[in-house]
Chains A and B, each alone.
Chain A
């Protein structure tokens, strides 16, 4: 217990001193997971809308793939991305292994099914007749999508947040494709693993506190949006 407490105090001191390396690690984490989330949203949201709004051959198969993908183990993703990017692998000539770009690729693969799956669910839970109503009032296809997105904005926000939460806290994939190189590909999760292994609990705890803080921030935004919505929906006098 003493270890935890002392570690915690040292962590506070470390955070307070704004250790350069700590800030750099945090910043890289945000950059990698942030851009992975952005890309996953840019690809996954249209995919989710498409899966929800249209009936076509192979739809249920694709939906099955997406839903399976929502529970994809990060180490498995890390393994396959590593094999692809390995010097002798099919994409080896890009020389991307052990770079932040490789980490983004791996995290996109993790976040994309989460965003797509939750988007699809969010759109599907809307009243089917809202589509007709919007069209009957003159909505073009793009205006229709915009209308549905507005009606489902909370679950869509949750989909984005779940995507981000999934990648910011994963360690398996970034470890394998990033390599945890100091100053280059070291992020909060991989650094925590390393510091713990080396017995530097204070640093590990400091890193964990930052990670927890980020996750908390993400959820706070979501909760606030939800509560605001609830207030808006309360009957007015």
Chain B
């Protein structure tokens, strides 16, 4: 098997004595895509700059294709195999063409090759007609695409994207993301994508690494990370809106969880005081009484229509947040004050022991 494109071990970075980042282990396979997800200030950008060789860590090592680089010259060589696109387009003065040609000129690419590659890349991103335009005359989307063209023209083996969609409005962002994904996939470029938006993280990649307060908290396939966040903090960040304390005890092969005003069963967990997590999308409206376990009666407090779903706040002794589809909400005529029954699959109940909270 080929060595990973990037392999991180025991990476630590401090600023003025404060540890801002600690990543024990992280690998990126050639051509793969990894999303770094975390709130603002969680160290994602710092990690990206370390991976991009723009900063030097205080401890740990990063190997590129199995090689650890120590000399400035080697590091420059490796940096020239990779490229980074920031949140701001950070374009240089001049025209769109000048910007896209910048990296090629640094690499002393012959002029005819430079022209060819720049125009190819501009066409690829649909910027062909903008080549001679000054950068001050571009729209936000065009600026962002120019920044992307400036990176892609270098045909990097690894690409770092630091929230490149932050300044785009929602519809543009969706199409930009989709185009970008297709493009990176087609070009076989290993990519690390940084975002603080968990929906975007889910859209973008199969593998997700979550950073909280400078620590790499969880790393795995997106579905696993989002369905079973590894800690209470992670659960809170990843949208497990229902988190409450409970007492756990074993009962014929499964766990009974006793919370104030609510009792439910989970697949298996340790005993004692725990924190229970229920994802709003895992809770169902139990209408026909089909469910036998984990059924709670409650009253709807709020109905809040959102993008794709309807957000309900239901008082079941403790307040629970549930997502139902807009269709379902309409069909049932859900409204505040209505009595409903909720149910949840015991397999989907998240239980966090005291040591992990």
Point out residues on A near B: beta carbons under 8 Å: 127, 129-130, 132-133, 135-140, 143, 147, 150-151, 232-236
Contact = CB atoms under 8 A, between A and B. Distances in A.
Main secondary structure of the interface of B (DSSP, over half): mixed
A136 B52 CA distance: 7
A137 B151 contact: yes
A138 B154 contact: yes
B54 A132 contact: yes
Contact of A233 (B49, B76, B136): B136
A133 B136 contact: no
A137 B83 contact: yes
A143 B106 contact: yes
A127 B91 CA distance: 11
A132 B136 CA distance: 21
A135 B80 CA distance: 9
Contacts of A232: 134
A135 B53 CA distance: 9
Main secondary structure of the interface of A (DSSP, over half): helix
A138 B108 CA distance: 11
A236 B54 contact: no
B106 A140 contact: yes
A138 B90 contact: no
Interface in B72-112: 76, 79-80, 82-84, 86, 88, 90, 92-93, 102-103, 106-107
Contacts of B83: 136-138
B136 A137 contact: no
Contacts of A236: 133-134, 137
A236 to B, nearest CB: 5
17 contacts: A129-B90, A130-B92, A135-B79, A136-B52, A136-B54, A136-B79, A136-B83, A136-B84, A137-B102, A137-B154, A138-B106, A139-B106, A232-B134, A235-B134, A235-B136, A236-B134, A236-B137
Contacts of A139: 106
B311 interface: no
B352 interface: no
Contacts of B82: 136
A147 B79 contact: no
Contacts, number: 59
Given A137-B150, A140-B106, A151-B92, A129 B79 contact: no
Given A136-B52, A138-B79, 16 more contacts: A130-B90, A132-B52, A136-B54, A136-B79, A136-B82, A136-B160, A137-B106, A137-B150, A138-B80, A138-B83, A138-B103, A138-B106, A143-B106, A232-B134, A235-B134, A236-B134
A135 B93 contact: no
A139 B82 CA distance: 12
Contacts of A143: 106
A136 B161 CA distance: 11
Contacts of B154: 137-138
Contacts of B90: 127, 129-130, 133
Given A138-B103, A235-B137, A147 B92 contact: yes
Contacts of B160: 136
Given A138-B79, A138-B154, A235-B136, A129 B103 contact: no
Nearest to B49: A132
A130 B150 CA distance: 14
A82 B105 CA distance: 50
Contacts of B76: 138, 140
A107 B133 CA distance: 44
A137 B76 CA distance: 10
Nearest to B53: A135
Contacts of B150: 137
A129 B92 contact: no
Interface in B97-140: 102-103, 106-107, 133-134, 136-137
10 closest Cβ contacts across the A-B interface? A136-B84, A138-B80, A235-B137, A137-B103, A133-B90, A236-B137, A138-B106, A132-B54, A233-B136, A138-B103
A140 B53 CA distance: 12
B87 to A, nearest CB: 9
Contacts of A137: 83, 102-103, 106, 150-151, 154
A127 B88 CA distance: 11
A101 B92 CA distance: 41
A143 B108 CA distance: 11
A147 B52 CA distance: 19
Contact of B93 (A132, A136, A151, A235): A151
